[in-house]
Amino acid sequence: MSERNWDVWQGRLGGARAHRYYGTYGKPQNPELEHRGRMELASSLIAGKSVLDIGCGIGHLLHFVKEGIDYVGADTSPAMIRVAKSFTPNGIFRIGDIYDLSPFDMFDTVLCQSVLIHLPKIKIPIQEMWNHARRAIVFSIPIGGIKVVRPLDRYGDKLILMHTETWENIEAIIKTLDGVKDVEKHLEPGTRMGNTYVRVIK
Share of the chain above pLDDT 90, in %: 53
**129 compared with 78, residue with greater pLDDT:** 129
pLDDT digits (tens, 9 = 90+) for 146-177: 665 554 555 454 555 677 889 999 999 999 99
This prediction's pTM: 0.86
Does any domain span residue 5? Answer: no
**19 Cβ partners below 8 Å, 6+ apart?**
83
Whether 2 is in a domain gets the answer no
- Model pLDDT for residues 113-135, shown as the tens digit of each residue: 988 988 888 999 999 999 999 99
Q: How far apart are the first and last CA of the chain?
A: 29
62-68 contacts, C-beta under 8 A, 24 or more apart: 62/28, 62/88, 62/91, 63/28, 63/29, 63/39, 63/88, 64/39, 64/40
The answer to whether residue 84 sits within a structural domain is yes
3-state SS, one letter per residue, for 139-190: EEEEECCCEEECCCCCCCCCCCCEEEECHHHHHHHHCCCCCCCEEEEEECCC
Number of domains the chain is built from: 1
CATH number for the domain that contains residue 191: 3.40.50.150
Structural domain boundaries enclosing 20: 11-201
| CA angle, residues 117, 121, 127, in degrees to nearest 5 | 100
Is 45 part of a structural domain of the chain? Answer: yes
Cα dihedral 106, 109, 115, 117 sign = positive
Q: How far apart are CA 43 and CA 75, in angstroms?
A: 18
Tens digits of residue pLDDT in 26-57: 676 676 656 788 899 999 999 999 999 999 98
The verdict on residue 4 lying in a domain is no
